[in-house]
Amino acid sequence: MTRVKLAGLIAGLTAATASIWVGLGAVLPARSQQPAITIRTKIRGTDRPPSLDAPVFLLVLGGDAREENPENSRMDAIHIVGIDPTTGRAGILGIPRDAWVPLPGRGYEKINAASAYGGLDLMVETVEALSGCTFDHTVLVNFQGFRNVVNGMGGVTMDIPERLFERGASGIDLQPGRQLLNGKQALAWNRLRKGSARPFGDFSRSQAQNDFLVAALREARRDFTRSPGSLLRLLSTFRSNVAHDLDLTSMLRLGQAFLALEPRNVRTDVVDGSLGFVEGISIVQITREGQEQFVDLCGDGALDR
């Protein structure tokens, strides 16, 4: 299939997907709780939509909000996702939550405090100033609803490299090997630090979250390839758990970018940093190599180094 025909097929599928998404709103019940995922569009100060050929940048955040506003919770997961739709390549760069960075107007703090002080606006401003990226969208994942999304997808298949266990709240005990994780297990995978064999918890957990994002993409594409009807199930799950402000153009652009994306073309990494202390507080100091990783990803939406 030629690239032109493939682009036409993707555009057609994406348009159909957007129509189905809108239609599902008429038959599905409204959310009765905080959404599991919130997608916000970056205000660009213009009504002209961005080019469909330009890289797409997303700031993906994960927090454990219960009673408080999820946008003002401290983030446990912070990831820059870049997609180059012209090449089908993408990069995911995790930022350790203990990274010691300047927060605009507040001086140096751990990066996960930005949202606690100023919500998503301050978090976006902080990461943009740190990385040089300009984000098209911010994706906030509320870990309290995360399990519903994974279960709605039918689970996510992961390669577990080592035994992962925790005697605490999750009670998780995963043996090494390839297996399908349900929502509870997937949440533990994304949050686990203590009680496992992972070294340097902040870095390894960020990379584990990177791995999960790629695995979820692979699962969704595999399901769609095997049974296009699975798209309806996936859309139903997201319609019930996702709040967004996307217009049709943005929805088409995101859908086209993700449908054209091959998991094998996604490279992941965690920002390089060194462990240290400030006034007795454990922090991560981003190194020169870490700064170069930002330049690499934010240049064209892919990790080349």
Q: How many CA atoms lie within 13 A of 165 on its CB side?
A: 5
Contact 203, 270 (CB under 8 A): yes
pLDDT in tens, the chain (305 residues): 444 444 444 444 444 444 444 443 433 344 446 788 888 887 554 444 556 678 889 999 998 765 567 788 889 899 999 998 888 899 999 999 999 999 999 999 999 999 999 999 999 999 999 999 999 899 999 877 888 889 988 899 999 888 877 776 666 788 889 999 999 889 888 877 654 444 446 788 888 899 999 999 888 877 776 766 666 677 777 778 888 888 777 777 777 777 678 889 999 999 999 989 998 899 999 999 999 999 999 999 999 86
Positive/negative CA dihedral, 290, 292, 294, 296: negative
pTM of the predicted model as reported, rounded to 2 decimal places: 0.83
DSSP readout, 149-196? HHHHTT-EEEEE-S-EE-SSSS--EE-SEEEEE-HHHHHHHHH--TTB
Cα separations (Å) of 87 from 15, 92, 136, 265?
21, 16, 19, 9
Q: Could you give the 3-state DSSP secondary structure of residue 82?
A: strand
Single out the residue of 78, 222, 48 nearest to residue 140, CA to CA: 78
Alpha-carbon distance of 293 to 304, in angstroms, equals: 9
- The number of residues in the chain equals 305
Structural contact between residues 250 and 43, judged by C-beta atoms closer than 8 angstroms:
no
Q: Please state, in angstroms and rounded to a whole number, the distance separating the CA atoms of residues 226 and 302.
A: 28
- Is the domain spanning 3-148+214-300 CATH 3.30.420.590? The answer is yes
User: How is residue 164 written in tokens?
Assistant: 């992962």
